Amino acid sequence: MVTSPSRTQGSSRLDSGPIHASPLEAIADSKKRSSSHLAWSPLTLPTTPLFGTDGIRGKVGDLLSAPLAMQVGFWAGQILRTYAQTSGTVILGQDSRHSSDMLSSALSAGLTAAGLEVWNLGLCPTACVAYLANKTDSLGGVMISASHNPPEDNGIKFFGSEGTKLPQAMQAEIEAALRGDINVLSTQTEWGQHFYRPELVKDYTESLHQPLLKTTNLQGLRIVLDLAWGAAVQVAPEVFRQLGAEVICLHDRADGDRINVQCGSTHLGALQAAVVHYQADLGFAFDGDADRAIAVDSQGRPVDGDYILYLWGHTLKNAGLLPENTIISTVMANLGFERAWEKLGGTLIRTAVGDQYVHAEMVKTGAMLGGEQSGHILCRHYGISGDGLLTAAHIAAIVKESGTPLAALIDSSFQTYPQLLRNVRVEDRQTRLNWQECDPLQQAIATATQDMGDRGRILVRASGTEPVIRVMVEAASAELANHWADNLVLAVQRYLT
């Protein structure tokens, strides 16, 4: 067991339910007992919720600031302690954005002010924080990252002591505390400490390749990795070389100015060209915090999360490791994937977009595999959170063990329905999150839905991670999909911007 460099904490696992009716009530009680108080400057907060589908995310200097991060850390520490009935450690990691150091330091100051011990991993993938939160006696973990967003954005996302996303109820309590009386706060009689613990990242790295080393050697495979100037630059090459692969890396330095810029899982052009140029067997692109991965086959064709779920699901099904042959995905999953999986005797269950919803449905149904088209994949046999490196390693192992090129595996799987995803930037947060109240836009969606009938489907939603409205149109023909995607994008621009 990993312990503190200064002292060993008592048990700090979160209990299954709150000790008090509400942690906020306990905090309020402690304020009454206090004889002195910490004082914070008032924050200007938006009226819309701070926590989205993946924590608090936004432009640094706008929504995200050092004062906000410090107070988020303090209140999160208070609530985590109240649920766990003890002080303890919190695992902290970050990506390569220039603002990550500032936000990490501010958040740590808040957590230590709440009496907690912070173990700072430094640069690491999000899944590393989740893994260590689960494997150590910690109260939870925090990752400073805006995932696939551009360099000027950043985010704060929390994990509980089991390594899964912090429950929405606890996030709501942190936000409620932030919006309360922040001028007079409870006094701590015990202050926390901050320790730099980058050596712990090695434990996570070994957890990725150790299960595969027993059965798989990637020797003979040439693999290109696009590391997006982000959190995986130190870890990913080591994992694949340990497994025996020949590795070629792109964008393989931590660079806060260029993280995700025309590279990584949302911009595949560089990876596609490199795989073809180097005559590689396959390639993988990660996003800024490496919690998602998109593959590219030897012909340079993208292999998204739908194909990854199909291939991994097929392998687990044949091994008798997929309960009820069920895969959990989201409303974005392609109809071609769903119908092909059903032909194999499988079941696809859809959830709202967001890996927390996928995970919740997996727990509810007992499913072992789930994920999103964007490349967030969760396999409970091997991990507890979306992990791009874990996903990539297992897909490479499937290719190696099958003796079949990835391109051939894709050709024999399924054909996707034409699916268009358009993003319309809507800067006003209130307008964006309340888009469903726009009657003219609702009428435009109803008209498109009626016209398409059973030939396709439409999904319009506000992004939980970016200031955009996402318009997805999927249809039996590209012409039909293009027609209604264009019409709906114009409607969003006309009525919301």
Per annotation, catalytic residue among 12, 87, 138, 147: 147
147 annotated ligand binder: yes
Alpha-carbon Rg for the chain, nearest whole angstrom, is: 23
287 annotated ligand binder: yes
411 annotated ligand binder: no
Spell out the SS3 assignment of the chain.
CCCCCCCCCCCCCCCCCCCCCCHHHHHHHHHHHCCCCECCCCCCCCCCCCEEECEEEEEECCCECHHHHHHHHHHHHHHHHHHHCCCCEEEEEECCCHHHHHHHHHHHHHHHHCCCEEEEEEECCHHHHHHHHHHCCEEEEEEECCCCCCCCEEEEEEECCCCCECCHHHHHHHHHHHCCCCCCECCCCCCCCEEECHHHHHHHHHHHHHHHHCCCCCCCCEEEEECCCCCCCCCHHHHHHHCCCEEEEECCCCCCCCCCCCCHHHCCHHHHHHHHHCCCCEEEEECCCCCCEEEEECCCCEECHHHHHHHHHHHHHHCCCCHHHEEEEECCCCHHHHHHHHHCCCEEEEECCCHHHHHHHHHHHCCCEEECCCCCEEECCCCCCCCHHHHHHHHHHHHHHHCCCHHHHHHCCCCCCCEEEEEEECCCHHHHHCHHHCHHHHHHHHHHHHHHHHHEEEEEEECCCCCEEEEEEEECCHHHHHHHHHHHHHHHHHHHC
147 is catalytic: yes
289 annotated ligand binder: yes
Pairing mode, if any, of strands 347-351 and 138-144? Answer: unpaired
- Binding-site residues for Mg(2+) sit at 147, 287, 289, 291
- Binding-site residues sit at 147, 287, 289, 291
Catalytic residues: 147
